[in-house]
Copies of this chain bind each other. A is one copy, B any other.
């Protein structure tokens, strides 16, 4: 195996490790939300520091490969895609941390009926992140295209949550703080799904050299 190939295998492994941490952060932040588990929420917030640290490491790794091996063609596209995917994973970690922050805030506000849609959204978004990472590892553009299509279902669920929150506020305006936190969690999940879509688009670019973002997902 050429030196650069070994480096690229290691880079992919490192990105996958960040991906695993990020997936765990999403799933734990939602579990913490559902169970009102402040201790778990605290752990999610702490794990974000590890994600940030690894993001910097992956970026330095990418720069090292660019400087030492001066890759071209497919290898170059892979390293550039890795830089962007790394960035998106870090943002997903931040969003999970934001969800975890809401848990602490909701804790002081008595029980809420968390809409079932939130769980649906979270499951969909988590699945999209997992699939987008699988697509990265296997260079699987068919899976990447599937991720892009799944984003619509998350957007639809987000709109349903938005309407429920609005209706709830009109009926019980005194619960506005709590309902707005639910709304805010649903927005964070929507953005996690957007980031998974970005990753999927980077996979298509990495494999096919074609920049598909800003194009309809029917493409």
Contact of A149 with B by CB under 8 A:
no
Residue in contact with A180 in the complex, picked from B49, B166, B211, CB distance below 8 Å? B166
Chain B residue numbers with a CB within 8 Å of A53 are 214
Interface residues of A in 34-88 (CB under 8 A from B): 49, 52-53, 55-56, 59-60, 62-63, 66-67, 70, 72-73, 76-77, 80, 83-84, 87
Contact of A176 with B by CB under 8 A:
yes
Q: Is the CB of A76 within 8 A of B80?
A: no
Tell me the count of chain A residues lying within 8 A, CB to CB, of chain B: 32
Residue in contact with A169 in the complex, picked from B66, B84, B87, B169, CB distance below 8 Å? B169
CB distance from A99 to the nearest CB of B (A): 15
Q: Is the CB of B177 within 8 A of A166?
A: yes
Q: Is the CB of B77 within 8 A of A80?
A: no
What string of 1s and 0s marks CB contacts (under 8 Å) between A172-205 and chain B?
0110110010010000000000000000000000
Q: Is the CB of B63 within 8 A of A77?
A: yes
Determine how many copies of this chain the complex contains. Answer: 2
CB distance from A148 to the nearest CB of B (A): 16
CA distance A174 to B55 in the complex (A): 45
CB distance from A20 to the nearest CB of B (A): 19
Chain B residue numbers with a CB within 8 Å of A80 are 62-63, 66, 83
CB distance from A177 to the nearest CB of B (A): 6
CA distance A72 to B49 in the complex (A): 30
CA distance A169 to B170 in the complex (A): 9
Q: Is the CB of B166 within 8 A of A170?
A: no
Chain B residue numbers with a CB within 8 Å of A214 are 49, 52-53, 55-56
CA distance A211 to B59 in the complex (A): 10
Q: Is the CB of A67 within 8 A of B73?
A: yes
Chain B residue numbers with a CB within 8 Å of A59 are 211
A-B contact pairs, 13 of them (CB 8 A): A49-B214, A56-B214, A62-B80, A63-B77, A66-B76, A66-B80, A67-B72, A67-B76, A70-B70, A83-B84, A87-B87, A170-B174, A180-B180
